[in-house]
Amino acid sequence: MERILNFIDGELRPPVGNAWLDVYEPARGTVYAQLPDSDSRDVDLAAIAAQRAFATWNALGREGRSNALLRLADLIERDLEGFVADESRDNGKPLSLARRVDIPRAIANFRFFATAILHFSSEAHLMDDVAVNYTDRQPFGVAGCISPWNLPLYLFTWKIAPALAAGNCVVAKPSEVTPYTAYRLSTLCNEAGIPPGVLNIVHGLGPKVGAAITAHPGIPAISFTGGTRTGAEIARVAAPMFKKLSLELGGKNPVLVFADCDFEQMLKTTVRSSFTNQGQICLCGSRILVERSIYDRFRDAFVERVRALRVGDPSDATTDLGAVVSKDHMEKVLSYIDLAKEEGGRVLCGGERVVLQDEMSNGWFIAPTVIEGLGPARRTNQEEIFGPVVTLQPFDDDADAIRSANATPYGLASVVWTSDLQRAHRVARQLQAGIVWVNCWMVRDLRTPFGGMKQSGVGREGGLDALRFFTEAKNVCIKL
Ligand code: NAD
C-alpha cells in the first residue's frame, strides 16, 4: 500500500517513530494509503530545518521568492488532473468540483500572494517638521500553518502562500483525513526551486502534530483553519506564549431571502450554497430565513430542486453530491438529523444515508436534507452540522430576519437576497458576519478581508492583511 511521507528539509521522509495511520476513500469506505503518525520529534526536525532555511529564503528577495512560488503554481497547473483526482478521492467531493474550484483556487492562492508581495509597501507618517516615521515589515522566521479537510489544498495553500511570500519558512500540517494533495504538493517543491527547509509538511494527528506545532517555542505564529473547539485549544496554548494567532473557525451561516428578490436566481444559487461539497464548506448557508409572504412558494420550489440533486460516484460528471468525508462525520451529521426530529423538526426531503451499488456500497453518502419547523434557539439552528442539511425558517420583517440571523454564537458568512438596494446595505451593516454576499455566493476577491466574527474566528486574513499577519511591523521614528 502506498505510503505518504513527510517533507522535511527538502526530503520526503518517514516519521521518526515509524508509526502509520490509514487514509480512507470516503466514496468506497476503504483504506487506500497510509500516512505518517508523526509526533513532536518530526515537528522539531521541521522547525530546525525551517529556522536554518530562513536566511537563504530571505536572501532570494521578494522577486526570487515570488518566482519560486509562481513556478510552484505552474507545476500544480501542469499536474492539474492528478491533483483533481487526489482531491476527489481523499475527500469524496465530485471530481468536477475539485476541477472547477479547489485546485484552480489553490493555484490562484500562490499566484495572488506571489505577485502581491511585489506590491506590498510600507507606510510613512510625517509629523510636520518634527519627525518622519516609517513602518518596516519583516518576516518573523517560522510560521505554523494548520488546515482542515473540507477544501484540503485550497485552504492549505491559503495559509502557506502568504507566509512564504512574506519571507517566512513554514511548518505545515494538513488534515490527517485528507493528506494526499499536500503530499503531492511536497513532491513539486524542489522542482520549483524552493530551497530545502523553506516549506516543511508534517503529517499526522491534530493532538500530536498540531499540538506540537502550536506549543513549539521556535514557531512564533500560528495560522489555523478548523473547528471552533480546536481553535479554542490552540488559543489556550499559544496565547500565554504571546504567539501571533489567526483563527478561521466554524460557522452557522444564514441566508436571508426577501420577497422582492430575483426568485429564480436566488433559488438556483441557494441550492448551491446549501449543498456544494455536501454542505462541507465553511461558507455554505445552513439556515435559510425566508420572508413569510413567499415562504410556502420557496419551500415547495426549493424542495423540488433538492430532490432532483444526484448523490453518487464522485467521478461521474452528472453527480451533484459525493460522499461526506468520513464515517465519523457521516454519523455526526445523521445524529443531527435525529436531533432535529426530536426537537420537533419536519424532514421535507432527504434525512438518511444513501447506499450506492457495488464497490461504493460502503461509501459515506447522505441525501441532501431540508428541515422546517424549528425556531432559531433550537440546537439544530445553533450548532454547526457541516453536512448536507439545511433548515428553513419564516420571518416577518427586516428586524425579525436580522435577529434570527444573528442569533448564534457564530459569525462567518451570510447571504442576502433582495432587489431593494437600500435594504441590502442596511441589512448588510447589521449582520454579525465577516462576509455578506448580496445576490450571490462564494464570489471571492482575494484582496478582501476574509474571516469570521464572534466564535467564527479572529484575525481577518484576506489579501494584504495576510501579508501583514505574516510580518512584524516596526515603527522607525527619525527626528528631523
Ligand atoms: P478540526 O478543528 O478538527 O481540525 C483542523 C485541523 O486542526 C486538522 O489539521 C487537525 O488535525 C488539527 N487539530 C486537531 N486538534 C488539534 C490540536 N489540539 N492542536 C492543533 N491542531 C489540531 O476541523 P476539521 O474537522 O478538520 O474541519 C472542519 C471545521 O473547519 C468546521 O468547523 C469548519 O467550519 C471549519 N472551517 C472553517 C473555515 C474558515 O475559513 N473559517 C474554513 C474551512 C473549515
The CATH architecture annotation of domain 253-445 reads 3-Layer(aba) Sandwich (3.40)
Q: Per-residue pLDDT tens for 414-433?
A: 999 999 999 999 999 999 99
Buried b / exposed e over 316-333, threshold 16 CB at 10 Å, is eeebbbbbbbbeebbeeb
- What is the pLDDT at residue 158? 96
CA of 298 to the centre of ligand 1 (A): 34
Atom 10 of ligand 1, residue of closest alpha carbon: 206
User: Which three cell numbers, joined as nine digits, stand for 296?
Assistant: 410556502
Maximal C-alpha separation, the chain = 80
Mean per-residue pLDDT, 275-285: 98
- What is the pLDDT at residue 459? 79
- What is the pLDDT at residue 107? 98
- What is the pLDDT at residue 332? 98
| Average pLDDT score over the chain | 97
Does 383 qualify as catalytic in the annotation? no
The candidate with the shortest Cα–Cα distance to 377, out of 347, 411, 343, is 343
Q: Is the CB of 230 under 6 A from ligand 1?
A: yes
Atom 23 of ligand 1, residue of closest alpha carbon: 226
Q: Is the CB of 225 under 6 A from ligand 1?
A: yes
Range with lowest mean pLDDT among 89-93, 121-125, 294-298, 333-337: 121-125
On the question of pLDDT at 377 being above 90, the answer is: yes
Beta-carbon contacts of 322 under 8 Å, excluding residues fewer than 6 positions away, are 26, 27, 88, 91, 92, 93, 94, 97, 278, 311, 312, 313, 314, 365
Q: Is the CB of 411 under 6 A from ligand 1?
A: no
On the question of pLDDT at 460 being above 90, the answer is: no
Q: Per-residue pLDDT tens for 141-165?
A: 999 999 999 999 999 999 999 999 9
Task: Provide the 8-state DSSP code for 352.
Answer: S
Range with lowest mean pLDDT among 5-19, 303-317, 352-366, 458-472: 458-472
Give percent above pLDDT 90 in the chain. 98
Task: Provide the 8-state DSSP code for 210.
Answer: I
**Ligand 1 mutation target, pool 43, 245, 282, most atoms within 8 A of CB:** 282
Question: Please, is 357 exposed, middle or buried when counting C-beta atoms within 10 Å of its C-beta (0-12, 13-18, 19+)?
Answer: exposed
Query: What is the phi/psi pair of residue 57, to 5°?
Result: -65, -40
Does 282 qualify as catalytic in the annotation? yes
Q: Is the CB of 202 under 6 A from ligand 1?
A: no
Task: Provide the 8-state DSSP code for 18.
Answer: -
Mean per-residue pLDDT, 402-408: 98
**Which residue is catalytic, options 145, 282, 284, 384?**
282
What are the sequence ranges of the domains in the chain? 2-249+456-479, 253-445
Task: State the Rg of the chain over Cα.
Answer: 23
Q: Is the CB of 251 under 6 A from ligand 1?
A: yes
Cα of first residue to Cα of last residue in the chain, in angstroms, is 68
Atom 20 of ligand 1, residue of closest alpha carbon: 210
- What is the pLDDT at residue 38? 99
Q: Per-residue pLDDT tens for 13-29?
A: 999 999 999 999 999 99
CA of 249 to the centre of ligand 1 (A): 7
Q: Which CATH number fits domain 2-249+456-479: 3.40.50.720, 3.40.605.10, 3.40.50.1110, 3.30.2390.10?
A: 3.40.605.10
- What is the pLDDT at residue 463? 80
On the question of pLDDT at 461 being above 70, the answer is: no
**Ligand 1 mutation target, pool 146, 236, 286, 414, most atoms within 8 A of CB:** 146
Q: Is the CB of 387 under 6 A from ligand 1?
A: no
Q: E strand or H helix at 279, and its extent?
A: none
Q: Per-residue pLDDT tens for 207-264?
A: 999 999 999 999 999 999 999 999 999 999 999 999 999 999 999 999 999 999 999 9
CA of 251 to the centre of ligand 1 (A): 12
Confidence class for position 462, pLDDT limits 50, 70, 90: confident
**For ligand 1, what atom is nearest to the CA of residue 175?**
9
- What is the pLDDT at residue 159? 96
Q: E strand or H helix at 414, and its extent?
A: strand 413-417
Q: Per-residue pLDDT tens for 88-127?
A: 999 999 999 999 999 999 999 999 999 999 999 889 999 9
Distance CA 87, CA 98 (A): 6
